[in-house]
Structure 1
Amino acid sequence: MRTRGTILLACVFGGLAFGYVLGNIGFGDYAELNAMFTFQDLRMFLSFAGAVVIVAALFAVLRIRGTKEKIHAGVVPGAILFGAGWAISGGCPSIPIVQVATGYVPALITLVGVVVGMRLSRWANSRFFHVDTGSCGL
Structure 2
Amino acid sequence: MKTTKEQIEISGEPFVCEAPNDMKRVEGPLENLKYLVVGIGFGIVFVKAEIISWFRIQEMFRFQSFHMYGVIGSAILVGMVSVYLIKKYNIKTMNGEEVIFHPKKFQKGQIYGGLIFGLGWALTGACPGPLFAQIGSGFVVVLVTLASAVAGTWVYGFLKDKLPN
What is the root-mean-square deviation in Å for CA atoms of aligned residues?
A: 3.1
Partner of 1:100: 135
Gapped runs of 5+ residues in structure 1?
A: 132-138
Taking the aligned partners of 1:123 and 1:9, their CA distance within structure 2 comes to 32
Q: Which structure carries more helix by proportion?
A: 1
Q: 1:129 to 1:89 in 2, by over 3 A?
A: same
Q: Which structure carries more strand by proportion?
A: 2
Higher relative contact order (CA 8 A, sep 6+): 1
CA displacement, residues 16-55 of structure 1 (integer Å, 9 cap, x when unaligned): 5422320121011111122233333223321221111111
Partners of 1:26 and 1:32 within 8 A in 2: yes
Q: Which runs of 4+ in 1 moved over 6 A?
A: 5-13
Partner of 2:68: 44
Partner of 2:121: 86
Deviation of 1:67 after TM superposition, in Å, equals 2.8
Partner of 2:107: 72
Among 100, 106, 118, the residue aligned to 2:153: 118
Q: How many residues align?
A: 128
Compute the TM-score of the two structures, normalised by the length of structure 1.
0.72
Partners of 1:100 and 1:107 within 8 A in 2: yes
Taking the aligned partners of 1:90 and 1:47, their CA distance within structure 2 comes to 15
Taking the aligned partners of 1:27 and 1:77, their CA distance within structure 2 comes to 25
